[in-house]
Chains A and B, each alone.
Chain A
Amino acid sequence: MMEDLSNYPLELTGDNVPMVRFLKVTKRYGDLVVLDQLDLDVAEGEMVTIIGPSGSGKTTVLRMLMTLETINEGVIYVDGKPLTHMEKNGKLVPADRKYLRKARSQIGMCFQHFNLFPHMTALENCMEGPVQVLGMKKAEARERAEELLELVGMSDKRDQHPSRLSGGQQQRVAIARALAMRPKVMLFDEVTSALDPEVIGEVTNVIRSLVEKHNLTMLMVTHQMGFAKDISDRVCFFFDGKIEEQGAPEDLFGNPQKERTQQFLSAVKEAD
């Protein structure tokens, strides 16, 4: 059965078009509802962090935005245009593969396990997208890749293969690789969870400098509450496929209103 999408706008217009909008987005695996009628806006340049217990659907939010997961109901908009759907005869229909490929190029993603290409050097990893997908000249792509490796502090390792790099170094290259595509939105999916404690700082510092110096829209899923509190413009606490509570970090961490938020935060604090 085709979902009735006539209530969803073909594109978002007006003064305050958010960079990302989830509009009544539902994701199910069989009978299990992972996300239930999610509404979430992220403004341009905003850094939004998603926290919550495992199974609360927080990683799914990022994966849907990367179009790695399909959605069952609702529409996701990026920069005012539908991401998951396309217009056909004045109506929204699920996007085809070609549309998705174009649409998702606005999004960059960093993964928990880095997923660098092992047969390429750090520099080649960062050039792959621009050359192969954007059709950029090699020299130009190399210049961009070198700049970005500089930005993440990995210039001296640019000719190394990932297997020669530590987890923290690999993750920094992965950030540079994603940035090389000049995305409008960056997604960080538990990017420090697989790292040894002593190298977490080098990755969080890179993200911090992105927040401070670049007007990039970012969504981050993390278990590092201190880091989330430091750099987020807004924090969303997910529980059971819904946003249970959201707000400025000092409010949400300092004075949580909902009982579940309080329970979660105190449980996390104990574990620390």
Chain B
Amino acid sequence: MSYIEFLKEYGPRFWDGTLVTAGQFFLASALAIVIALVAGLMKLSRNGLIRGIAVVYIEIFRGTSLLVQLYWIFFVLPLFGLTLPKFTAGFVAVGMNLGAYGAELVRGGIQSVPKGQWEAAYALSMSPMRRMWRIILPQAFVNMLPPWGNLLIELLKNTALVALISVSDLMFEAKQINGSTFLSAQTFGTALIIYYVFARFIVTPFMRWLELVMRRKLGRA
């Protein structure tokens, strides 16, 4: 079977898998961003308890294996009465894991905003909430974008693990195709290329564009 014939035969299944992977990627990214923002802000709180919760969260999700976390969420939580559909369990695990990494980016981004900006906002009598939201976060956001680009590519690649709880993503389809055709090179080669194209020609350009837009907003570009 030529590679062209192989693609004709199995292309639709690769496509279906890619759509599921894209779904996992977008939902996990959204979750990771929200978690990162919340945990990052909590880590900067003056309140020791709030800070402590964030530290524990970050330590657990950054310090243990994503695969184990995925199995916990999918296989162990039902024992405690929380059963999630596999698709949900997949992106929740990936999002919570990468969110812990993102929290450090948020914290670092906020701390990289010069002290003078905090003082200027203070001198205008802004409340701490407004100061964070209107003055500090927009600037922190720009500083954080390059490392977030990296993190999102990492996240995309990590979504391949959800195949292990039978979410029919790109990796799952590839394994199935490989199981019935034994054309490993073609199968995993195709999967490899799709992941690469996704990261290189969708995620990276999007982040670059976002960076440019934000820099323009700052009048830097």
Contact = CB atoms under 8 A, between A and B. Distances in A.
B10 interface: no
B125 A119 contact: no
Contacts of A160: 219
Contacts of B116: 111, 113, 115
A129 B219 contact: no
Interface in A217-262: none
A138 interface: no
B119 A68 contact: yes
Contacts of B142: 119
Interface stretch (B12-20, B23-31, B132-140, B183-191): B132-140
Interface string A134-178: 000000000000000000000000001111100000000000011
A22 to B, nearest CB: 19
Interface residues of A, number: 28
A181 B126 CA distance: 11
16 contacts: A104-B125, A107-B123, A111-B116, A111-B119, A111-B120, A111-B123, A115-B117, A115-B120, A116-B120, A117-B120, A118-B219, A128-B134, A132-B126, A133-B130, A160-B219, A177-B124
B138 A119 contact: yes
Contact of B125 (A162, A163, A177, A181): A181
Interface of A: 66, 68, 101-102, 104-105, 107-109, 111, 113, 115-119, 128-129, 132-133, 160-164, 177-178, 181
Contact of B124 (A102, A119, A181): A181
A117 B117 contact: yes
Interface of B: 114, 116-117, 119-127, 130, 134-135, 138-139, 142, 217-220
Contacts, number: 66
A70 to B, nearest CB: 13
A28 B218 CA distance: 38
Contacts of B139: 118-119
Chain A to chain B: the 4 pairs with minimum beta-carbon distance, closest first: A161-B219, A115-B120, A115-B116, A129-B124
